[in-house]
């Protein structure tokens, strides 16, 4: 009974924090907690008429990837299984997602181990549904190098018709190093690759976008207008690990370009990548970096080159693990993890087209540690859903979420 009461208080606290955490006297956003299925590794995407939540569970060597389709108000429509199997790679920082193609197919993926003796040897296995999750295709391995190395940290983007663009971190150039299971291996040679996969599950094009990147920071991307963008953490031979971007115009990719100069030198992967959204029709990038002893959350907007929009938060206790989505045309929502005392705090911020912070909400408080994972955002117009893993009753885990609505209806 005590555990149930504690969880209920935690969920109910979201609404209070959403008001008390606002930076202005009157809030522009309303946050409403909603019940969600699943226990770990959530991701959320928009589809026709609503959202799709994906979650991944593991029981020993058995793993299952599931989905829940929600309407735009967060009400459950139906649930289903995308894939299940044995000897998958399941990790807090490298988790599946889903995208809907322009013609309505759903495409998702899981990560399957390619060598049980190497902890970071795994492949990207793409699956497709042509009937909104009722049935799923046989899996396709999107890379053909055949090496027992790391292939993960995937970004999926629609690419016209039923095609998808798939990008991933790829360690074929160097063997992945054995580690402690928490993505802190050093010395591997990782690149970022991309492929175009058509509606018949054929790889019709494959590119190497950057031959040396950070090993295990999540990637992100958006299709904005006629262009598709991928953002990721680069790695120089001198161990400078700043955020870079590449752009696909439908025929070819641009050369990698540094978003802004951080000059963050770190010899190991920080496991803390960037996020991308559209803001007033332009690419917006949100990412964590290090300045002295402080973690800094930076914003940049691409308008004939990347322009610095300033810092969202800085401090020794800022964790990062960011996400970003468009919120209407001329606003964006940002999410990240901060610290307050001994607790981790999930925060959501609203910014305008100039990057000005309109308000920040403390959504919920969570126990410290990696079991919280990386909270995820999705938005339809000026209504959004944020999802996260609640580890307050660990080892039992629970997916939780909050609907975010704009209070002004203009």
The distance in angstroms from the start CA to the end CA of the chain is 45
Q: In the structure encoding, which two tokens stand for residue 173, read together?
A: 């150039």
User: What is the C-alpha to C-alpha distance for residues 115 and 181, in angstroms, rounded to an integer?
Assistant: 14
For position 31, what pLDDT does the model report? 97
Q: By the 8 A CB rule, do 365 and 344 touch?
A: yes
Q: What is the pLDDT of residue 175?
A: 55
What was the pLDDT predicted at 407?
A: 92
pLDDT tens digits, the chain, 410 residues: what are they?
333 344 334 433 443 343 334 444 468 999 999 999 999 999 999 999 999 999 999 988 899 999 999 999 999 999 999 999 999 999 999 999 999 999 999 999 999 999 988 989 999 999 999 999 999 999 999 999 999 999 999 999 999 999 999 999 999 998 544 344 444 444 579 999 999 999 999 999 999 999 999 999 999 999 999 999 999 999 999 999 999 999 999 999 999 999 999 999 999 999 999 999 999 999 999 999 999 999 999 999 999 999 999 999 999 889 999 999 999 999 999 999 999 888 899 999 999 999 999 999 999 999 888 888 999 999 999 999 999 999 988 889 999 999 999 997 54
In the structure encoding, which two tokens stand for residue 216, read together?
A: 């295990």
Domain ranges of the chain: 43-177+187-320
DSSP 194-224: EEEE-TTS-EEEEEEEEEEE-SS---EEEEE
**pLDDT tens per residue across span 200-214:** 999 999 999 999 999
CB–CB of 80/99 below 8 Å? no
**Sign of torsion over alpha carbons 302, 308, 311, 317:** positive
pLDDT at 26: 62
| ω into 395 cis (within 30 of 0) | yes
CA 57 to CA 397: how far, in whole Å? 10
In this prediction the pTM is 0.91
Q: Which residues contact 409 (CB under 8 A, 6 or more apart)?
A: none
CATH fold group of domain 43-177+187-320: Neuraminidase (2.120.10)
- For CA atoms 162, 163, 165, 171, the dihedral sign is positive
Strand partners, 397: none
Looking at residue 409, what is its pLDDT? 52
Locate tokens 């610095």: which residue? 308
162 vs 282: CA distance, rounded Å: 25
Give pLDDT, residue 341.
85
State phi, psi for 217 to the nearest 5 degrees: -95, 135
Contact of 363 with 336, CB cutoff 8 Å: no
């Amino acid at each position: 009974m005590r555990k149930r009461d504690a969880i209920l208080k935690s969920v109910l606290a979201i609404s209070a924090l959403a008001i008390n955490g606002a930076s202005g006297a009157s809030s522009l956003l309303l946050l409403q907690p909603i019940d969600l299925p699943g226990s770990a590794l959530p991701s959320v995407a928009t589809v026709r008429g609503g959202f799709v939540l994906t979650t991944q569970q593991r029981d020993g060597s058995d793993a299952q990837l599931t989905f829940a389709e929600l309407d735009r108000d967060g009400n459950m429509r139906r649930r289903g299984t995308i894939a299940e199997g044995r000897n998958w790679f399941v990790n807090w920082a490298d988790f599946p997602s889903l995208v809907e193609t322009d013609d309505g197919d759903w495409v998702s993926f899981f990560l399957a181990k390619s060598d049980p003796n190497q902890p970071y040897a795994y492949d990207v296995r793409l699956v497709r549904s042509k009937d909104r999750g009722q049935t799923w295709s046989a899996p396709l391995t999107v890379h053909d190098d055949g090496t027992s190395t790391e292939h993960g940290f995937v970004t999926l983007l629609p690419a016209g018709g039923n095609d998808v663009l798939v990008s991933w971190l790829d360690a074929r150039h160097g063997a992945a190093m054995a580690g402690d299971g928490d993505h802190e291996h050093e010395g591997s040679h990782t690149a970022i690759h991309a492929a175009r996969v058509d509606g018949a599950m054929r790889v019709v094009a494959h590119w190497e976008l950057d031959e040396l990147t950070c090993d295990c920071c999540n990637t992100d991307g958006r299709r904005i207008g006629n262009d598709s963008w991928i953002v990721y953490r680069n790695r120089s031979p001198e161990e400078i690990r700043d955020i870079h971007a590449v752009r696909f115009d439908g025929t070819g990719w641009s050369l990698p370009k540094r978003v802004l100069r951080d000059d963050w030198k770190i010899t190991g992967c920080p496991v803390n990548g960037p996020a991308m959204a559209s803001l007033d029709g332009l690419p917006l990038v949100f990412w964590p970096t290090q300045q002295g002893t402080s973690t800094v959350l930076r914003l940049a907007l691409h308008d004939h080159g990347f322009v610095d929009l300033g810092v969202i938060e800085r401090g020794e206790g800022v964790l990062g693990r960011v996400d970003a989505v468009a919120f209407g045309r001329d606003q964006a929502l940002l999410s990240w993890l901060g610290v307050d005392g001994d607790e981790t705090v999930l925060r959501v911020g609203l910014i305008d087209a100039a990057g000005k912070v309109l308000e920040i909400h403390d959504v919920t408080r969570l126990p410290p540690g990696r079991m919280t994972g990386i909270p995820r955002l999705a938005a339809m117009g000026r209504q959004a859903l944020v999802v996260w893993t609640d580890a307050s009753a660990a080892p039992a885990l629970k997916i939780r979420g909050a609907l975010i609505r704009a209070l002004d209806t203009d």
